[in-house]
Amino acid sequence: MAITKVWVEDECTICGVCEDLCPEVFSMGEETTTIMEGADFEANDDCIREAADNCPVEIIKFEVED
């Protein structure tokens, strides 16, 4: 099932793991990590899931197509 939505919850510690694993989707800011505008979730499915699995505070979330 394809990922259709990705978000980072408020408790982001800006550790950089997600950006290191999936720079096509995640971008670190000064206060939180954001999702790159126009990011291709389908093409980056594997690295999105890897970033979510490796997030030390478990705040990367995604939805999949039914």
For 14-62, what is each residue's pLDDT tens digit? 999 999 999 999 999 988 999 999 999 999 999 999 999 999 999 999 9
What SS3 state is found at 14? coil
pLDDT at 1: 85
Distance CA 38, CA 42 (A): 12
pLDDT at 41: 97
Distance CA 64, CA 25 (A): 16
Q: Which domains does the chain have, with CATH numbers?
A: 3-64 (3.30.70.20)
CA atoms within 13 A on the CB side of 21: 16
pTM of the entire predicted model: 0.92
